[in-house]
Amino acid sequence: MAHVVVVGSQWGDEGKGKIVDWLSVRADVVARFQGGHNAGHTLVINGEVYKLSLLPSGIVREGKLSVIGNGVVVDPWALLEEIETLRAQGVAISPDNLKIAHNATLILPLHQELDAAREGANSGVKIGTTKRGIGPAYEDKVGRRALRVADLADSDTLADKIDHLLRHHNALRRGLDLPPYDAAALLEKLKAVAPEITPYAAPVWRLLNEARRAGQRILFEGAQGVLLDIDHGTYPYVTSSNTIAGQAAIGTGIGPSALSHVLGITKAYTTRVGEGPFPTEQDNEIGQRLGERGHEFGTVTGRKRRCGWFDAVLVRQMVETAGIDGIALTKLDVLDGFDEIKICTGYRLDGRDIDYLPVNSAEQARITPVYETLEGWHDTSFGARSWAALPAEAVRYVRHIEELIGAPVTLLSTSPERDDTILVKDPFED
């Protein structure tokens, strides 16, 4: 039985929510494996819009088990708020259909304060974080001082663990001119929220391995995009977790042999939110047109996304790094009406041609894209559900992307509606 890993192949915001929802109908279990509530997935089902940040996209489908893996950092208050929002929309959520890894790290209010203080400081690199405490929580995780979901059920040791955590954080806070954090206040907050979170806690690794042995289909849902990977992305302008497909095994406790098919969600052009390099960015009328047609505003933050032409160099690099078997190409309809469309096929750096993004940020700033120009199309691709319904130029564009990135198009999305999807190959039938 095939198990599918879904990752974004660019800087996130590629339309993973719709594709994961489309795939979740075929899955039995949907598992988040990294990130936190800085992720934003928008689902449109029968005209109803669901906006998810921390919950797996399968939560809106009856009969599916949704799992938050140990690689995710969990803000318990944000999670409860998201659960209540979805319940108000008629979504049933209980410990029967939602499980949280008992070894998942908690995001605390002090993490959010530290995140905001650092991002607002007058010195240092501005990463463009969502200020939701994601990075500081991961820092505590690797520093072996984090509080985890299981700690909420152990009130006898919770106070000591908070004291250990605050010895580190209060030293940081002094350096940022923040007052010491009140240990007693944090303890009371955690004791109050514990009864609402602990019923969802479970040994997720065991549940997933049992599901695998039972022949159930598992869909592993990534957040952000592989270009934001802490190791393989555009460092330091990245997220604080590994976003490539291999993290699906580490972030849930299932062996890597279970990862049968990696699907890279890929936008037909390129966007990113926040700071950092963007070789094909169009800070002009073209970029504005792409942003307006694509409604390019962040689900979580509402921030306007930077827009540019498709960068085949970056996607090809991420196909190799993340082990992507096929891509789901999204938002093709945004390119409707352009007289010509450009694709970046290489870079120039200091007078020489290169076919990858250099690691050094100074070199990244000096590269210039090499473009290939294709004929655009004026017929609409919006809502197409077959290759025959697409303009011929749009088909040529898609086929050329496949050649340039070295991966086939598995799915093609032509609108936010889940049924406006052209299936080339079912990833679960790998």
Q: Which residues pair with 50 in a beta bridge?
A: 43
Other CB atoms within a 10 A radius of the CB of residue 97 amount to 18
The Cα–Cα gap between 286 and 273 comes to 17
For residue 264, with 0-12 CB atoms within 10 Å meaning exposed, 13-18 middle and 19 or more buried, which class applies? buried
Residues making up the chain, counted from first to last: 430
Q: How far apart are CA 245 and CA 262, in angstroms?
A: 7
Angle at 142 between CA 153 and CA 81, to 5 degrees: 50
**74 token code pair:** 């969990």
Residues labelled as active-site residues: 13, 41
Sign of CA dihedral 264, 270, 275, 279: positive
